[in-house]
């Protein structure tokens, strides 16, 4: 059931990244065993690192460092996902979907970081209409 938008709703970016995380973890689970424990683990760890940084940023007055960390991890994920496609662990179509999701979330992280920097305080995370 949909909840009305309000003060207690998580930031739109956090919800989107949660969906990206579910998608990526599901695909990592399907990697061959020898790739899942070496390469897939790096993808899973980075993905969860971003999720943690975004949750912390949503509730922290020190957003800049957390958002910078999330942005760096998203950039590393772009390269890891590219390698996953080159190693034929994901299809080109899956790669395209993932890249579009990473790019969208990356833009949102950048917008949130810029907004936090201009406010100079711990303001709320931007909602979709601000991005």
Whether the CB-CB separation of 127 and 11 falls below 8 Å is answered with yes
In a domain? residue 70: yes
Residue 74 has pLDDT above 60, yes or no: yes
Is this structure's pTM higher than 0.85?
A: no
How many angstroms separate the CA atoms of 29 and 17, rounded?
A: 18
In a domain? residue 12: no
- How many Cβ atoms are within 10 Å of 40's Cβ, its own excluded? 23
Q: What is the pLDDT of residue 49?
A: 98
Task: Give me the number of domains the chain comprises.
Answer: 1
Average pLDDT over residues 47-58: 96
In a domain? residue 29: no
Burial per residue of 83-100, b for 16 or more beta-carbon CB atoms within 10 angstroms, e otherwise: ebbeeebbeeebbeebee
Q: What is the pLDDT of residue 26?
A: 95
In a domain? residue 30: no
- How many Cβ atoms are within 10 Å of 47's Cβ, its own excluded? 24
In a domain? residue 104: yes
Report the first-to-last Cα separation within the chain, whole angstroms. 25
In a domain? residue 103: yes
Domain with 114, as residue range(s), is 35-118
Average pLDDT over residues 24-45: 94
Nearest to 122 by CA among 61, 67, 55: 61
Q: What is the pLDDT of residue 1?
A: 37
Whether the CB-CB separation of 99 and 11 falls below 8 Å is answered with no
Q: What is the pLDDT of residue 117?
A: 84
- The predicted-structure confidence for 89-130, as pLDDT tens digits, reads as follows 999 999 999 999 999 999 999 999 998 888 765 445 554 434
């Amino acid at each position: 059931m949909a909840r009305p938008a309000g003060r207690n709703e998580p930031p739109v970016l956090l919800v989107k990244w949660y969906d990206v995380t579910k998608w990526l973890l599901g695909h990592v689970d399907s990697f061959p065993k020898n790739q899942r424990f070496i390469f897939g683990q790096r993808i899973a760890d980075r993905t969860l690192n971003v999720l943690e940084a975004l949750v912390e940023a949503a509730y922290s007055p020190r957003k800049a460092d957390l958002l910078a960390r999330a942005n760096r991890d998203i950039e590393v994920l772009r390269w890891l996902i590219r390698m996953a496609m080159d190693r034929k662990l994901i299809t080109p179509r899956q790669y395209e979907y993932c890249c579009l999701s990473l790019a969208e979330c990356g833009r949102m992280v950048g917008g949130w970081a810029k907004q936090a920097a201009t406010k100079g305080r711990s303001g709320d995370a931007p909602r979709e209409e601000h991005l």
